[in-house]
Chains A and B, each alone.
Chain A
Amino acid sequence: MSTTTTEIQDGIDKHATHDDHHHGPEKGLMRWVKTTNHKDIGTLYIWFAFTMLLIGGAMAMYIRAELFQPGMQFFDPQFFNQMTTLHGLIMVFGAIMPAFVGLANWQIPLMIGAKDMALPRMNNWSFWILPFAGAMLLSTLFMEGGGPAFGWTFYAPLSTTFAPDSTDFFIFAIHMLGFSSIMGAINVIATIMNMRAPDMKLMDMPLFVWTWFITAFLLIAAMPVLAGAVTMMLTDRNFGTSFFDAAGGGDPVMFQHIFWFFGHPEVYIMILPAFGIVSQIIPTFARKPLFGYSSMVYATASIALLSFVVWGHHMFLAGMPIGGQLYFMYATILISVPTGVKVFNWITTMWRGSLSFETPMLWAVAFVILFTIGGFSGLMLGIAPADIQYQDTYFVVAHFHYVLVTGALFSIIAAVFYWLPKWCGNMYNEKLAKIHFWWAIISVNILFFPQHFLGLAGMPRRIPDYSLQFADFNMISSIGGFAFGASFILLTYIIVDCIRNGKPVKEARVWESAKGLEWTVATPAPYHTFDTPPSKKQILAESSHIHLEGEH
């Protein structure tokens, strides 16, 4: 035993010495398979998310093509249902969440002056689960009976008794995605708690770090609930239990309670890091410290806490007693208070600043406006009696695409443009990026805005064909959809072009008025950063929100 311990100790010592040499990454494919470097893993996450975004986007293109005009155009309704289901699952679990984890991997250590993530090997593992889970999820499409066709919310009993055989693979894929998320979240918390530069207090942390810190707790609390839901589905399907089967004493509505107890915090898992990103970008291009830093932190925490007690607003029509409906309505509309505080803080940060509109700022401003529109429809949906007319219509589809596409996704695009020069050392083509921005922003509104009208005019969601009175707005929406889809070809070009042929950036501080420790390391960021933690003075000087006494 003692020899073994010594050997391990030797190994650790050798490893430590090895690290001190700091020769760069391994060469070839094995660099990416074996890497424990937060920057490499961040890159892997972001490329994975981008790939899944394109796959999920292709499914959306099919959906919009089918809905371009009335009638069944291409495949049968069963296939349409598989597409809406997988589109939702892939965008949520494959694109948005991994993209945020990728940003966390790249940025959190750089922003808190840490050498790496706290648990680098687990970091590698939590990434490498993802491609397998994603592949398994997609493989269901090629199985007999097709893939999951019950919506991304997979309500029982449609997803249990009435589902195709491939559902068991779907369940396993969800389990794996959950493992990955939980490990990623543990890593974020461990890193922020333990790896912060010794002189950085919690209230010195940039908001992106703060929002991710809170998001990680949401993930740890919510993902096991989802795992519980799919496990109950698994036993209902295969082992004769009846959690969700009324014939055996179960309750299909209980599934919805469990699902949304996960599902509502999940919504905030996908938006809190976005709040963090926008809170980094706006001060940079307003050349002014973030307004109300501490209120931003408290608002984020309040939103996170409230997110666990409002799940019932997804179920107003499931047969909820009036007391339940009233409670969930009050709790839900209450969330708009801290959310409003955030929006007001961003706008006040811009007020009397010295604004310039480089691409990241354009996306951040678009985020604030369009996310707020999504927030308005959210407030309307929160009013329980009015929800009778909105629930499960295109009004809901419009609402959650405003918060998830023009909200979460736009913040990710903003973040990529903001930090890409730091990551790869090259500047993107500003002119093309601006063309892309205007193209995307116009088309995305043509895509989603008419869907509000469709919902109010009576079009239910998740239908492959519709009555003639919905034809015009569907066609407009589809045209917007194709244009928005095509904008990602240009985005791919801009990013690849930046990495390969972009003009090298020499300054460490890529944006002249950006604050933050990530701007103190060389550009491109070296493979290993912050061997010596930043000093107290440096931390305070780089804080985008607190100004030292007497500094003006």
Chain B
Amino acid sequence: MLDKRFSTHLSFISHLKRNLSLTKTILLSLILTPQLAQAEYGLNLPEGVTSISRDIYSLHMLIFWVCVGIAILVFGVMIWSMIFHRKSRGAVASNFHESTAVELVWTLVPLAVLIAIAFPATKVLIDLENTEKADMTVKITGYQWKWQYEYLDEGVSFFSNLDKASRDATRNVTEREKHPNYLLDVDNRLVLPTGKRIRFLMTSNDVIHSWWVRELGVKQDANPGFINDSWAKIDKVGVYRGQCTELCGKDHGFMPIVVEAKSEADYKIWIVEQKAAQKAAAAGDKEWSKDELMAQGQKVYSGSCASCHGVTGQGIPGVFPAITNSPIASGDIKTHINIVLHGKAGSAMQAFGKQLSDSDLAAVITYERNALGNSAGDIVQPSTIKSAR
């Protein structure tokens, strides 16, 4: 067990593992991309990598074949009749028009078929609704238009946005063709261990979202103010992709989900790295120059702000306010910091204090005040943000 060997070896092993997996990924993607792309090009549900997804798959195929059977019977009779009972072939109409026996048969036989389907369906439903005895819990919060993942047992949490490459490719064909996972890639993946019973808690910060990963057989609505749950035990290491499936506003089509299932050992290494990285981010306290802030601010703006307020800061009149010449971005800096940190209740403006680091917040506020047609002239340092929190 890797987790027993501790700190000194850990960083080395992690380094090695990462390099190995990186090399493997590159090699795999070089060799397998065309085939992988083809494998994904599907007509049917995948069997998936959890017991639930496989149960659902079997159920799906069972009903499908029942339907095909009924279709052959019903359409067969119909087509026979359409061919052989045509007036143009000299068919003479019969006059039968009622039979209680026949009506009873085609009421009771379908009823029996339905009852036969209901048994396995009930069994699967009871199994998938049982979220007890979980080994770990991940809380998933939907935001317009990103996901937040919180590892409740570990104290690790982060946001997962659509990746920059996809964002840049929405209006660019060549970029799109270079991106095998266009719109199905994120900046931070949800990393999960295989072989563990994972409980998901879904909720939302604003409107209703729905978290769906087909291979896991998990789809559950994330409702604001309420918590839903679901579970999965992943059998196979791999990357599984999904999307938000409840219309949640403008960028509903642009909030993908990427789950990376690692072996339990790799997962533990990853968690330790995450904890270290979060500690390091919290510690950063240096003074930034205006150019540094502006450069970083532009990146943060296009990632977190542009989807509503627009790339050029114009917003969408009547829906999302403009940044350009806005009283907030050109007025009192405290008000500006306050709204970015804490959001505006009952609107799409979220509390970015929870999502971004002090330096990113300082950078993006500086950027909003000195670009996009604004020229307030002042800058914000990460230390100011820290004390304003």
Taking beta carbons and an 8 Å cutoff, which residues of A are in contact with B?
Answer: 70-72, 76-78, 81, 143-146, 149-151, 155, 157-158, 161-162, 164-166, 245-247, 251-253, 286-295, 317-319, 322, 325-326, 329-330, 333-334, 336-337, 340-341, 343-344, 347-348, 350-357, 365, 368-369, 372-373, 376, 379-380, 383-386, 388-389, 391-393, 453, 456-458, 460-469, 472, 545-547, 552
- Flag if B221 contacts A318 (CB, 8 Å): yes
B31 at the interface (CB under 8 A from A): no
Residues of B within 8 A of A347 (CB): 74, 77-78, 81
> In the complex the two chains form, what is the Cα distance from A78 to B307 in whole Å?
11
- Flag if B176 contacts A468 (CB, 8 Å): yes
- Flag if A291 contacts B318 (CB, 8 Å): no
> In the complex the two chains form, what is the Cα distance from A288 to B24 in whole Å?
70
- Flag if B42 contacts A458 (CB, 8 Å): yes
> In the complex the two chains form, what is the Cα distance from A317 to B226 in whole Å?
13
Residues of A within 8 A of B18 (CB): none
Given contacts A77-B251, A329-B125, A457-B41, whether A164 and B64 have CB atoms under 8 Å apart is no
> In the complex the two chains form, what is the Cα distance from A373 to B59 in whole Å?
19
Q: Which of B189-240 contact A (CB under 8 A)?
A: 206-208, 210, 212, 214, 217-221, 223-226, 228
Residues of B within 8 A of A157 (CB): 206-208, 224
Shortest 8 CB-CB contacts between residues of A and residues of B:
A246-B225, A145-B318, A463-B253, A144-B318, A376-B67, A457-B42, A392-B245, A354-B93
Q: Which of B229-262 contact A (CB under 8 A)?
A: 241-254
Set B214, B253, B316: member contacting A458, Cβ < 8 A: B214
Known A145-B316, A322-B129, A351-B85; 20 more pairs at CB < 8 Å: A70-B176, A81-B252, A246-B223, A253-B226, A292-B102, A317-B221, A318-B223, A334-B114, A337-B114, A347-B74, A350-B85, A353-B81, A376-B71, A389-B45, A389-B60, A453-B44, A457-B43, A465-B253, A466-B183, A545-B97
Closest B residue to A294 using CB positions: B98
B72 to chain A, nearest CB (A): 12
Contact pattern, B 79-118, Cβ under 8 Å of A = 1, otherwise 0 = 0011001111001111111110011001100110010011
- Flag if A386 contacts B59 (CB, 8 Å): yes
> In the complex the two chains form, what is the Cα distance from A165 to B110 in whole Å?
49
Given contacts A317-B210, A372-B71, whether A341 and B103 have CB atoms under 8 Å apart is yes
- Flag if A322 contacts B317 (CB, 8 Å): no
- Flag if B95 contacts A288 (CB, 8 Å): yes
B180 at the interface (CB under 8 A from A): yes
> In the complex the two chains form, what is the Cα distance from A497 to B141 in whole Å?
58
Closest B residue to A295 using CB positions: B103
Set A246, A251, A467: member contacting B183, Cβ < 8 A: A467
Residues of A within 8 A of B173 (CB): 71
Q: Is the interface of B mostly helix, strand, loop or mixed?
A: mixed
Given contacts A291-B97, A337-B107, whether A246 and B347 have CB atoms under 8 Å apart is no
Closest B residue to A166 using CB positions: B318
- Flag if A385 contacts B121 (CB, 8 Å): yes
Closest A residue to B94 using CB positions: A352
Residues of A within 8 A of B335 (CB): none
- Flag if B98 contacts A292 (CB, 8 Å): yes
- Flag if B246 contacts A392 (CB, 8 Å): yes
User: Can you sample 18 A-B contacts with CB below 8 Å?
Assistant: A71-B172, A150-B247, A247-B345, A251-B225, A251-B226, A252-B225, A319-B223, A337-B111, A347-B81, A352-B81, A356-B88, A388-B218, A458-B241, A458-B242, A460-B243, A464-B253, A465-B253, A468-B177
Residues of A within 8 A of B97 (CB): 288-293, 545-547
> In the complex the two chains form, what is the Cα distance from A392 to B252 in whole Å?
12
Residues of A within 8 A of B103 (CB): 292, 295, 341
Taking beta carbons and an 8 Å cutoff, which residues of B are in contact with A?
Answer: 37, 40-45, 55-56, 59-60, 63-64, 67, 70-71, 74-75, 77-78, 81-82, 85-88, 91-99, 102-103, 106-107, 110-111, 114, 117-118, 121-122, 124-126, 128-129, 144, 169-173, 176-177, 179-184, 206-208, 210, 212, 214, 217-221, 223-226, 228, 241-254, 316-319, 345-348
B96 to chain A, nearest CB (A): 7
Closest B residue to A546 using CB positions: B97
Residues of B within 8 A of A353 (CB): 81, 85, 91, 93-94
Residues of A within 8 A of B181 (CB): 467
- Flag if B74 contacts A343 (CB, 8 Å): yes
Given contacts A71-B169, A337-B114, whether A354 and B92 have CB atoms under 8 Å apart is yes
Q: Which of A162, A165, A546 has the most CB of B within 10 A?
A: A162
B85 to chain A, nearest CB (A): 5
- Flag if B319 contacts A145 (CB, 8 Å): yes
Q: Which of A245, A295, A356 has the most CB of B within 10 A?
A: A295
- Flag if A460 contacts B93 (CB, 8 Å): no
Set B42, B86, B169, B214: member contacting A355, Cβ < 8 A: B86
Residues of A within 8 A of B183 (CB): 70, 465-467
A495 to chain B, nearest CB (A): 26
- Flag if A293 contacts B98 (CB, 8 Å): yes
> In the complex the two chains form, what is the Cα distance from A356 to B92 in whole Å?
11
> In the complex the two chains form, what is the Cα distance from A385 to B218 in whole Å?
10
Residues of A within 8 A of B87 (CB): 287, 354-356
- Flag if B81 contacts A350 (CB, 8 Å): yes
> In the complex the two chains form, what is the Cα distance from A151 to B248 in whole Å?
10
> In the complex the two chains form, what is the Cα distance from A357 to B128 in whole Å?
50
- Flag if B206 contacts A162 (CB, 8 Å): yes
Residues of A within 8 A of B110 (CB): 336-337, 340
Residues of B within 8 A of A334 (CB): 114
> In the complex the two chains form, what is the Cα distance from A295 to B99 in whole Å?
10
- Flag if A458 contacts B243 (CB, 8 Å): yes
Set B169, B170, B171, B221: member contacting A319, Cβ < 8 A: B221
- Flag if A351 contacts B77 (CB, 8 Å): yes
Residues of A within 8 A of B224 (CB): 157, 246-247, 252
> In the complex the two chains form, what is the Cα distance from A455 to B205 in whole Å?
27
Set A333, A389, A468: member contacting B214, Cβ < 8 A: A389
Residues of A within 8 A of B42 (CB): 453, 456-458, 469
- Flag if A149 contacts B250 (CB, 8 Å): yes
- Flag if A319 contacts B226 (CB, 8 Å): yes
- Flag if B121 contacts A552 (CB, 8 Å): no
B30 to chain A, nearest CB (A): 18
Residues of B within 8 A of A166 (CB): 318
> In the complex the two chains form, what is the Cα distance from A165 to B316 in whole Å?
13
Given contacts A336-B110, A383-B63, whether A161 and B346 have CB atoms under 8 Å apart is yes
> In the complex the two chains form, what is the Cα distance from A146 to B249 in whole Å?
13
B42 to chain A, nearest CB (A): 4
Q: Which of B71, B144, B182 has the most CB of A within 10 A?
A: B182
Residues of A within 8 A of B225 (CB): 245-247, 251-252
Given contacts A333-B114, A385-B55, whether A81 and B85 have CB atoms under 8 Å apart is no
Q: Which of B121, B241, B243, B254 has the most CB of A within 10 A?
A: B121
Closest A residue to B214 using CB positions: A458
B221 to chain A, nearest CB (A): 5
- Flag if B319 contacts A164 (CB, 8 Å): yes
> In the complex the two chains form, what is the Cα distance from A383 to B118 in whole Å?
8
- Flag if B70 contacts A325 (CB, 8 Å): no
Q: Which of B71, B88, B126, B245 has the most CB of A within 10 A?
A: B245
> In the complex the two chains form, what is the Cα distance from A287 to B86 in whole Å?
10
Residues of B within 8 A of A545 (CB): 97
Given contacts A460-B244, A547-B95, whether A352 and B85 have CB atoms under 8 Å apart is yes
Set B74, B121, B172: member contacting A384, Cβ < 8 A: B121
> In the complex the two chains form, what is the Cα distance from A368 to B212 in whole Å?
34
A348 to chain B, nearest CB (A): 7
> In the complex the two chains form, what is the Cα distance from A322 to B230 in whole Å?
12
- Flag if B74 contacts A393 (CB, 8 Å): no
A267 to chain B, nearest CB (A): 19
Residues of A within 8 A of B318 (CB): 143-146, 164-166
> In the complex the two chains form, what is the Cα distance from A75 to B64 in whole Å?
38
Set B63, B111, B171: member contacting A379, Cβ < 8 A: B63
Set A72, A286, A325, A462: member contacting B252, Cβ < 8 A: A462
A430 to chain B, nearest CB (A): 15
